[in-house]
A and B are shown apart, each in its own frame.
Chain A
Amino acid sequence: MGVRLIAGLCLAAAGVTAQQQPTFRSGTRVVPVYATVQGPDGRLLVNLQKNDFEILDNGKPQIITSFSNQTEPIVSVAAWDVSTSLEPFALESRAAALSLVRALRPGDRLRFGSFGQEIAFSPLMTGDKPTLERIVTEELWFGGSTRLWGVLERSLSLVSQEGGRRVVITLTDGRPTTDPRSENDVLMAVHRADTMIYALGLDGAGLAGDIRAVAEQSGGGHAVLKGGPDLDREIEAVMVELHHQYLLGFTTDVSDGKLHALTVRTRVLGAKVRSRRGYVADPPR
């Protein structure tokens, strides 16, 4: 709730400020927006066309200049919460990680990280499943605190060095402890990084509201895994979603360095769109 309120205020303030202060213009840039669309029955809609969408930047309709509904590989940092609170779920957590590796498609790449007693990111960004399975099997040790926001910020930074469809997947209960960073730090990083966050929880451990809200703001999603015989199917559903997103883009010459509210709509009756809710209009790099 707190995150939604703060983020909402930030976006509202960004809109007001943009109207009152001079706009700095220096070249144009394309703002990419990934969107997931679900029909009224909750099923993914994967065959929409450009004309089915509408994008608003700070409430103003934009011309969609780029569009793709192709299935694309993902490049991902997986940040696994191995803090003390998840120690009772160690086996389920490891099983979920292995299931995620199995569900990777050709061309996908993944870099594993964990946070608990230490924050450790594998140096390897790879799609090689035996290597990833080795990392999961050998490098998840439970215990310690939950520096969730700091780890997500770092994950966003790591994945931003990669090209392609970027996503941070985190398995956590979403209850940070001794974390010097906040959800707002992560939100700002999300709006700068053009990267979505997908948060996974485990049945019994739960998934706190703040991390769900951050994932929604990023255009990603969240799910609590029941595990057991359902685990592979649940992970597969997440991967299908991540691979079947629309890539929309609009061109802007605004580079005021401010946070802009983004809204993506579809003309399909009853359909729901998930996409990132804002972007920072930094000057083109």
Chain B
Amino acid sequence: MRLLPLFVLTSMVAISTPGQPSGKTSVIWIYDCSQSHYSSLAPPSLEQFGVRSRPIEPLVQAVADNAGPGTEIRVLSFGTGLRLSPGWLRTRSELAVAMDCGDTLNGPSPIWDAVYRGVEVLEERPGPRAILMVTDGKSSANVHGFQEALERSKQGGVRINIGLARTELWRTSRPPMTLNANRAGDPAERLKKLAEGTGGRYTEMSAWDLPAFFAEVVRGWQK
């Protein structure tokens, strides 16, 4: 009998341009509203057992609390299509509203289209630029493939740092398992290639450590 997965893959990607002049940092936060991502998240009732159920709220808080006045964010959610928030957001409440999946919820996972589009939007912005991403890495229904997204990121002069979190559904003393690495492949493989291919950093961590990692990344933009 097959049980629920022990780990859920959640990734965080930070894309930043190296050696840029100081100024306002423009950030595209790509958020995975696909059915595969949402259906694999644990219900909130399991938090009492040490399970991170809905990772986005603490991440929004971490980003909002640590982003200085010089940071502007647009949210690009994907699922049933891509949806870019209409303007640059400056407050936590604006950010929280924009993270609502709305009519993109429960669709497919055009991750690489989102990266491609995110780079396009950022290229129009002066100053430092970054991309944050929360996804399970299981891409589908893309016009642009992984390689195109990678090349587009390189062309846009971005470095991609990835903090990959495997959320324990049940707390265990065992080291993280590669649960999603089934016979058809591990979605983490391409995320790792994305980081390495653009000269960025790739690390794996618990989902509970993601907010601190997000906070560290966002604080790094202030320097």
Residues of A within 8 A of B (CB): 82, 84, 87-88, 90-91, 93-94, 114, 117-124, 131, 134-135, 138-144
Partner of B183, one of A87, A114, A122, A138: A87
Complex interface: chain A residues within 8 A of B106 (CB):
118
Q: Given A90, A118, A122, A135, which contacts B184 in the complex, CB threshold below 8 Å?
A: A90
Q: Is the CB of B182 within 8 A of A139?
A: no
The segment from B21-29, B69-77, B137-145 found at the interface with A is B137-145
Given contacts A118-B108, A120-B108, contact A139 B184 (CB under 8 A): no
Residues of B within 8 A of A118 (CB): 34-36, 39, 106-109, 140
Binary A-proximity of B101-114 (CB < 8 A = 1, otherwise 0): 00000111100100
B40 interfacial by beta-carbon distance below 8 Å: yes
Given A123-B143, A139-B141, A141-B140: A117 and B184 interface contact (C-beta under 8 Å): no
Contacting residues of chain B (107-139) with chain A, CB-CB under 8 angstroms: 107-109, 112, 138-139
Q: Which residue of B lies closest to A121 (CB)?
A: B141
How far, in angstroms, from A223 to B52 measured CA to CA in the complex?
Answer: 44
B141–A138 CB distance below 8 A: no
Which of B35, B141, B146 lies in contact with A117, CB distance below 8 A?
A: B35
Report chain B residues within 8 Å CB of A121: 108, 141
Complexed CA–CA distance, A186 and B131 (Å): 43
Contacts of A94 in B (CB 8 A): 184
Interface residues of B (CB under 8 A from A): 2, 5, 34-36, 39-40, 106-109, 112, 138-143, 145-147, 182-184, 187, 190
Contacts of B40 in A (CB 8 A): 117
In contact, A120 and B184 (Cβ under 8 angstroms): no
Q: How far is the CA of A135 from the CA of B143 in the complex (A)?
A: 9
- Assembled-state Cα–Cα distance A131/B112 (Å): 14
Within 8 Å CB of B184, what residues of A? 82, 87, 90-91, 93-94, 140-142
Asked if residues B138 and A141 are in contact (CB atoms below 8 Å), the reply is yes
Q: Is the CB of B108 within 8 A of A84?
A: no
Of the candidates A124, A131, A142, which one forms a contact with B182 in the assembled complex, judged by CB atoms under 8 Å apart? A142
Q: A117-B138, A120-B107 are in contact. List 12 more A-B contacts (CB 8 A).
A: A82-B184, A87-B182, A87-B183, A90-B183, A94-B184, A117-B35, A118-B36, A119-B108, A121-B108, A141-B138, A142-B184, A143-B5
Would you call A143 and B143 a contact (CB within 8 A)? Answer: no
In Å, the complex CA distance between A123 and B112 comes to: 13
B34's nearest neighbour on chain A, judged by CB, is: A118
Cα A74 to Cα B5 in complex, Å, equals: 40
- Taken together as a complex, chains A and B put the C-alpha atoms of A118 and B141 apart, in Å, by 11
For B2, B107, B142, the residue with the greatest tally of chain A CB atoms inside 10 Å of its CB is B142
Closest to A122 in B: B141
* Closest residue on chain A to residue B5 by CB atoms: A143
Determine whether the beta carbon of B107 is less than 8 Å from that of A138. no
- Is B182 a contact of A90 with CB atoms below 8 Å? yes
Q: List 11 A-B contacts (CB under 8 A).
A: A87-B182, A88-B183, A91-B183, A118-B108, A118-B140, A123-B143, A131-B145, A134-B146, A134-B147, A135-B142, A142-B182
Q: Is the CB of A144 within 8 A of B39?
A: yes
Q: List residues of chain A with CB within 8 A of the CB of B39.
A: 117-118, 144
CA distance A82 to B108 in the complex (A): 14
**Once the chains bind, are A139 and B140 in contact (CB under 8 Å)?**
yes
Q: A88-B183, A90-B182 are in contact. Are A139 and B36 (CB under 8 A)?
A: no
Q: Please report the C-alpha to C-alpha distance between residue A140 and residue B146 in the assembled complex, in whole angstroms.
A: 14
> What is the bound-complex CA distance between A276 and B6, given in angstroms?
46
Are A138 and B145 also in contact (CB < 8 A) when A114-B140, A120-B140 are?
yes
Q: Which residues of A contact B145 (CB under 8 A)?
A: 131, 134-135, 138
By a CB distance below 8 angstroms, the chain B residues around A139 are: 139-142
Q: Which residues of A contact B139 (CB under 8 A)?
A: 138-139
> A261 CA to B58 CA in the complex, in Å?
60
Give chain B residues whose Cβ lies under 8 Å from the Cβ of A82.
184
Contacts of A143 in B (CB 8 A): 5, 182
Which residue, of A87, A131, A138, A143, has the highest number of chain B Cβ atoms within 10 A? A138
Choose among A84, A87, A120 the residue that contacts B109 (Cβ–Cβ < 8 A). A120
State how many angstroms separate the Cβ of A107 from the closest Cβ of chain B: 22
Q: Which residues of A contact B35 (CB under 8 A)?
A: 117-119
Residues of B within 8 A of A91 (CB): 183-184
Distance A144 CA – B40 CA, assembled complex (angstroms): 10
Chain B positions within 8 Å of A123 at CB level: 141-143
A134 to B182: give the CA distance in the assembly, Å.
19
